[in-house]
Structure 1
């Protein structure tokens, strides 16, 4: 009985956690109604305000839904999200998607040699040996030593890790603001999201400490560099502090989404050192092209076994043809030079926009990767104004959990020479005392 779980609890956090556990254990199913605020408060001996706060927390996590005049009920499992693509007007430069610039990708076709394909049956190794050698050296250079597993991109790796380690209702610590696709994944898996604010160097230690103390969390998911949408990148000092903050939680699963490592424009840092359960996922999508669908994950042995087992009941493995193609590209000096050129170009484009905005008195953020975050008083009107000036950017609403409004500008295709034009459009829209734009 629900009341048995709640007896003796005194705080809103304890009540919310108890209800989440009941959902996770199957005692409360989708659509089940919860007691009214007043009824539950009287039954367990707390104030109605305490129960109201608990219900609000559950609503924000997606565990329950509420409507005016109706009792709260356990939320349905969300439908799988489908991306919506709206055609842009002619002449508009699209800076709303964080895809890599096509002209900065290496020539993959040049490596499609006749001997690239080799027949492989069902008992092959999960990671192509040559690619495993390349990636093992790459991880070792960054102080990461683990079992290697191939997955179909960073999000695919996260889904397989989370679905084998966690259950619906488990709490996951995530950066705020957070990548839209990750938020959708957490929601589909029925996980409770615990936001942690970030600055230019990643998760803010004090906010992480508070979040860890507020409730029992099962996993921590963070982006060590090229954080989407903020462009944050862990410094060596910040990584060390964060490792200290999570040291008292040895059972906490730690996942690092290093989705843009090869072109991030920032050195690799990790907080996974010494953890029992951990994974660092490095995708090739930003550097070599999204259609390859190859990422390599380093992890502890148990996590690797779980992910490999999860693969076996789906695709079985990541195409060895694609893996051999990736290894051929990564082993080629000319291709590596092209990737290095892309990283430098993205850095110049990112810094050109940040500098141009700063010259006009507009603050922005973006230490690494393909995105610049621009704080905004209002998102939709400002984005609409920029569109009228020929620039398509992304509103921050879908990324935000508790953070303040912003616009995300993806700089992959923004020529550095045009950065002042975009900065002028921002300045026009945000001119003090002039409300025409917003």
Structure 2
């Protein structure tokens, strides 16, 4: 069978492949990027779904507008206003089937074969795969604990004149990095200076520990003249409410939204109206703040436990910066004391000890750091984090 040539440069997700190895009894997994299902507000979602069926069954069960279920668009606009996006209205966003679809729509509408696209190094693996599927030539911009290095980013923009720049500024996947306020404003200025679209992917911004992160670049765009039209913002309910709802959204300037809506018509006609109606009722109920408080507290506890356990069990064999939110630790093997320095080799040893994580190389579009790896604390309780870290210490 002859498949489309666009598949030639795309591989199966390394993370999905890793899951095939996790059937071993008793294994502790730090590999996934899932939220903890024990934290889902099942009762709140049950009530929301019942209200959706009781109050507007036709809207919940019938075909709907490609742009999204209007009551949900209204609630999402209000949700963004609560986070500082003061000028957002329902018509400024479309509902997508998870934020993953928003990224796919941006790939469809923006990328022609051979176009340059700048991404962080490292970045979300599925984004690398998605953009390459549409023929993008990906360029990596280096990051540190404060997010993408803006001076290097400007050099790359000036050199490559990309179709767009893709960033996860708040608790990135896999890096956990938090882009500083100063850098956010500078990136908005770069967007205006070079007339380049900046895609802000923000699935983790509500999962902060303690102090809230800086406002999104979308919210800050009101302070940088001309920058709003150069920002596309992707949001998601998956990490804060339920990934099973598959509810995300895309905020962008009108022409880009119109093109994205057209492409969505060809793809799935619209996101599940029942899921949208349920999400709308949930947001309307006022339960979201309490839900967020709960998940922030639990994830903060687990992140702190992992930071202490990794330091205790692996010592100077690894380097990491403890995240201030999100779901991930990003670490590097130092090779100190003759310990293993290749993360793929370390992953094999870790599986033998009964613990799993994801090597870092697949998260790089180019020039991978083979000593890097990602750990997720989201689905392991404190006891498993402590035991899993001991097993990592035995594997090092």
Q: Structure 1 length as normaliser, TM-score?
A: 0.75
Q: Structure 2 vs 1, CA of residues 160 and 125 (structure 1 numbering), >3 Å: closer, same or farther?
A: closer
**Deviation at 1:197?**
0.9
**Deviation at 1:198?**
1.1
Q: Structure 2 vs 1, CA of residues 95 and 189 (structure 1 numbering), >3 Å: closer, same or farther?
A: same
The 8 Å contact of residues 225 and 264 in structure 1, kept in 2 or not, is answered as no
Q: Structure 2 vs 1, CA of residues 125 and 238 (structure 1 numbering), >3 Å: closer, same or farther?
A: same
* 1:363 has 2:319 as partner: yes
Larger Rg: 1
* Structure 2: distance between partners of 1:313 and 1:141: 33
Q: Structure 2 vs 1, CA of residues 296 and 385 (structure 1 numbering), >3 Å: closer, same or farther?
A: same
Instruction: Tell me the equivalent position of 1:126.
Output: 67
Instruction: Tell me the equivalent position of 1:15.
Output: none
* Structure 2: distance between partners of 1:322 and 1:80: 31
* Structure 2: distance between partners of 1:76 and 1:335: 40
After the TM superposition, which residues 147-186 of structure 1 pair with which residues of structure 2 at under 5 Å, given as runs? Answer: 147-186=92-131
1:60-81 per-residue CA deviation (whole Å, 9 max, x = no partner) reads xxxxxxxxxxxxxxx8744574
Instruction: Tell me the equivalent position of 2:338.
Output: none
Instruction: Tell me the equivalent position of 1:92.
Output: 27
Higher relative contact order (CA 8 A, sep 6+): 2
- Moved segments of 4+, more than 6 Å: none
Instruction: Tell me the equivalent position of 1:322.
Output: 275
**Deviation at 1:188?**
0.5
| Secondary structure of 1:149 counterpart | strand
* Structure 1: distance between partners of 2:48 and 2:363: 37
After the TM superposition, which residues 233-252 of structure 1 pair with which residues of structure 2 at under 5 Å, given as runs? Answer: 233-250=178-195, 252=196
* 1:402 has 2:367 as partner: yes
Structure with the larger helix share: 2
Unaligned runs of 5+ in 2: 222-226, 334-340
| Secondary structure of 1:286 counterpart | coil
| Secondary structure of 1:302 counterpart | helix
After the TM superposition, which residues 19-418 of structure 1 pair with which residues of structure 2 at under 5 Å, given as runs? Answer: 77-78=8-9, 81=12, 83-84=16-17, 85-88=19-22, 89-107=24-42, 108-113=45-50, 114-115=53-54, 118-120=57-59, 124=65, 126-144=67-85, 145-146=87-88, 147-250=92-195, 252-265=196-209, 266-267=212-213, 269-272=215-218, 273=221, 274-334=227-287, 336-359=289-312, 360-361=315-316, 362-365=318-321, 366-376=323-333, 377-400=341-364, 401-404=366-369, 405-418=371-384
Q: Structure 2 vs 1, CA of residues 268 and 156 (structure 1 numbering), >3 Å: closer, same or farther?
A: farther
The 8 Å contact of residues 29 and 357 in structure 2, kept in 1 or not, is answered as yes
1:356-402 per-residue CA deviation (whole Å, 9 max, x = no partner) reads 32343442133321111110221122112222222111111211232
The 8 Å contact of residues 172 and 191 in structure 1, kept in 2 or not, is answered as yes
Unaligned runs of 5+ in 1: 1-29, 32-74, 431-438
Q: Structure 2 vs 1, CA of residues 106 and 140 (structure 1 numbering), >3 Å: closer, same or farther?
A: same
- Count of residue correspondences: 357
1:20-71 per-residue CA deviation (whole Å, 9 max, x = no partner) reads xxxxxxxxxx99xxxxxxxxxxxxxxxxxxxxxxxxxxxxxxxxxxxxxxxx
Task: Using the TM superposition, name which of 169-178 and 399-408 deviates more.
Answer: 399-408
